[in-house]
Chain A
Amino acid sequence: DIVMTQSPDSLAVSLGERATISCKSSQSVLYNSNNENYLAWYQQKPGQPPKLLIYWASTRESGVPERFNGSGSGTTFTLTISSLQAEDVAVYYCQQYYSTPVTFGGGTKVEIK
């Protein structure tokens, strides 16, 4: 199984400041045949299902604000919120869909400082 490790577990950021979340996979999720990283990021607010933010490691889902950016390749990935807004308070999960079983990181809780 591919183990997804997120850090930090939580972080507090001032409004308008940058938030950075790391996700590392125990093996590469880069699929050589199409040069895509099978890595997604989800946002989950209390009482709601997760919402897709980023897929293929860096492609923003339609309607997701431009302040959300994904980067990385292979085994190391980053989700950056460039200017934190109040509505971004949530838990963020990375997910690999390179192989079964699909696995998630443990989540990073983002709060306002």
Chain B
Amino acid sequence: QVQLVQSGAEVKKPGASVKVSCKASGYTFTDYYMHWVRQAPGQGLEWMGWINPNTGVTIYAQKFQGRVTMTRDTSITTAYMELNSLKSDDTAVYYCARDSTNWQLRHWGYWGQGTLVTVSS
């Protein structure tokens, strides 16, 4: 069965960086886009970007351009999201979510369990 297992909770100081991992299993990793979404406490869902695990091509939301990097390691079927220059309002649960294709945006049937990132001095 398809599983996306994310790394554990992080506590970071303002200005630091965080790197969240998303280990995929149960399917061919390179066949589906991987998205990253975040959810601040009590708030809605905010799309950050996606990576094509097959090619490594990324598309980022303009809000995060220059501050986010999405990568993948196909040998261990893991996607990563690194966010730099953290601020307090980056405190959120970060999710990876698998698309239904790797050639066009589609719906997302599988999600990781979420990783809480807390930014606090």
Contact = CB atoms under 8 A, between A and B. Distances in A.
A8 to B, nearest CB: 15
Chain A CB within 10 A, most for which of B35, B59, B95, B105: B105
Given A49-B112, A49-B113, A55 B106 contact: yes
Contacts of B47: 101-104
Mostly, the B contact residues are loop
Contacts of A52: 107-109
Contacts of A105: 44
B32 to A, nearest CB: 13
Interface string A80-100: 000000000000010101111
Contacts of B106: 38, 55, 97
A38 B109 CA distance: 14
A49 B44 contact: no
Chain B CB within 10 A, most for which of A99, A101, A104: A101
A72 interface: no
B105 A107 contact: no
Interface string A55-89: 11000010000000000000000000000000000
Contacts of A93: 44-45
A40 B108 contact: yes
B9 interface: no
Mostly, the A contact residues are loop
Contact of B44 (A55, A97, A100, A106): A106
Nearest to B46: A104
B107 A102 contact: no
Contacts of B114: 49
A102 B99 CA distance: 12
B44 A104 contact: yes
Nearest to B4: A49
Contacts of B107: 40, 52, 55-56, 95, 97
Interface of B: 35, 44-47, 59, 61-62, 95, 97, 100, 105-109, 111-114
15 contacts: A38-B105, A49-B113, A49-B114, A50-B45, A51-B111, A55-B100, A55-B107, A95-B107, A97-B106, A100-B105, A101-B47, A104-B44, A104-B47, A106-B44, A107-B45
